[in-house]
Amino acid sequence: MNKYIIIVFAVLAVFLYSSCESDFQLTSDWKEITIVYGLLDQNEKDNFIRIQKAFLDENTNAITLAGIADSLYHKNLNSVDLLELTDDGNRIRKIPLQQVLAGNFQLEKDLEEGDIFANKPYYLYHTDSTLNNNYTYQLRIITSTNNTITATTPLIGNFEVITPKRRSAVNLVSKNPFVRWRKAPNSTLFGLRLIFYYSEMENNQPTINKRLAWNLISSAMVPSDNLITYDFDIISDNLNTLSNEYTNTFFKHLAENIEAKAFVNRTIDSVQYEFSFGSEDILKYNQVIAAQQQSIVGGGQAINPYTNVDNGLGLLASRTTVLLNRITLDSETRDSLSCNPLVRDLNFEPATPNFDCF
């Protein structure tokens, strides 16, 4: 008897799409499989967890079933709760999660060409309860067949930036800046991007406020040290003979992402540092995904997906984003914005009145 199965797990969509080119024949009896995907964030007002199921049909192709929303979700779950636990496992409180439509929170994903999974309705489980980073959280699901599925994660914990200080000024033209912070207890991965806020006025029209993001670090391992220093590699020692200037990746990023216009005047307002952190289970999950992709490309044996869900499949982990606002660029950097050959045509106002480029 041929049976077809597909596991619906949002962040595995690329892998699953590649896998769906062949049907999977099962030789064992059907088993209820619950799929969980959730990233808890201590700094968010709303937290969401996606709960789905594996599905099986003797007569219908799995790709066809993937387009039927009823195939993706449990019809009824007895309960879905987050249990707030101390380090020794004592329960502080139980937080019930409610099923909601993702569209009510502007989280619904539009179908794109090649998508095989139904997206209407798109259900999530939600809580707006404040999460306490002193505790660990266990997701507990009890299905209509009285199966219990659990997954546990600590939160990232407190994060403290040492350098730069809020409302300080940074130099991005004559020396490589750095950031320094105290490690959050459960952070294993980190990313950092700078967001530049600027304004522009064209032909005496009303001023338009804009922003430009610069991804400095997408995903890196957090060092084991408690006090961590990261140096920006912005200024190169290699002289660009065409412009007679040392390469500056900050200026290069601006030049590549802001259109030069003859009658536009621009002013830099401030810079926002955006730190993002992920827990160890995200690292493990990413490592398995990378191994899966290599196996697919190399034609090797399929690798089982990473899961930290007991009696189910999926991932429950934690992440958070910390913003450091109102950092300014110092006068040397702002003056250079109006003169450096890489960005001179962008017409940024200098910090020094009547500043004259040499």
User: How does pLDDT run across 226-281, given as a tens digit for each residue?
Assistant: 999 988 888 765 544 444 455 688 999 999 999 999 899 999 999 999 999 999 99
Please answer whether residues 70 and 57 qualify as being in contact, where contact means their C-beta atoms are separated by less than 8 angstroms. Answer: no
Mean pLDDT on 18-34: 48
pLDDT at 30: 54
Contacts from 160-165 at CB under 8 Å and sequence distance 24+?
161/273, 161/275, 161/322, 161/324, 162/227, 164/273, 164/324, 164/327
Start-end of H helices in the chain: 13-19, 62-66, 249-257, 280-298, 331-337
Read off φ and ψ for residue 226, nearest 5 degrees: -70, -40
Q: Determine what percent of the chain is predicted with pLDDT higher than 70.
A: 77
Residue 150 bridge partners (DSSP): 140, 310
Please tell me the least confidently modeled range out of 21-25, 36-40, 62-66, 239-243: 21-25
pLDDT band at 54 (very low <50, low <70, confident <90, very high): confident
> Tokens 């409610």 map to which residue?
98
Q: What is the pLDDT of residue 242?
A: 47
Closest to 189 (Cα-Cα) out of 274, 324, 273, 281: 281
Q: Please, what is the average pLDDT of the chain?
A: 81
- Biggest CA–CA distance in the chain, Å, is 83
Q: What size, in residues, is the chain?
A: 358
Whole-number pLDDT of residue 55 = 57
| Residue matched to tokens 């539009």 | 110
Query: At 305, is the pLDDT very low, low, confident or very high (cuts 50, 70, 90)?
Result: confident
Provide the sign of the torsion angle of the four alpha carbons 282, 285, 291, 297, taken in this order.
negative
Percentage helix, strand, coil for the chain under 3-state DSSP, each rounded to 5: 15, 40, 40
Taking only the tens place, the pLDDT of each residue in 126-161 is 999 999 999 999 999 999 999 999 999 999 999 999
CB atoms within 10 A of CB 338: 19
Whether residue 303 is predicted with pLDDT greater than 70 in this model: the reply is yes
Architecture of domain 4-155 in this structure: Sandwich (2.60)
Model pLDDT for residues 315-333, shown as the tens digit of each residue: 999 999 999 998 999 999 9
In the predicted structure, residue 206 carries a pLDDT above the cut 70: yes
Q: Which residues of 91-121 are buried (b: 16+ CB within 10 A; e: fewer)?
A: eeeebebeebebeeeeeeeeeeeeebbbbee
14-23, 64-73, 105-114 — which is least confidently predicted? 14-23
Q: Which residues contact 192 (CB under 8 A, 6 or more apart)?
A: 179, 216, 217, 230, 273, 274, 275, 276
Q: Across the strands, what pairs with 143?
A: 77
Instruction: Say what the pLDDT of residue 349 is.
Output: 93
**Rounded-to-integer distance, Cα 281 and Cα 223, Å:** 16
The whole-angstrom separation of Cα 156 and Cα 41 is: 8
- Of these ranges, 52-61, 284-293, 349-358, the one predicted with the greatest mean pLDDT is 284-293
pLDDT higher at 45 or 105: 45
| Chain segment 183-195, per-residue pLDDT in tens | 999 999 999 999 9
Supply the pLDDT for residue 302.
67
pLDDT, residue 23, reads: 41
pTM value?
0.81
DSSP 75-104: S-EEEEEEEEE-TTS-EEEEEE-EEEEGGG
Q: Is the bond leading into 154 cis (omega within 30 degrees of zero)?
A: no
> So what's the pLDDT on residue 33?
84
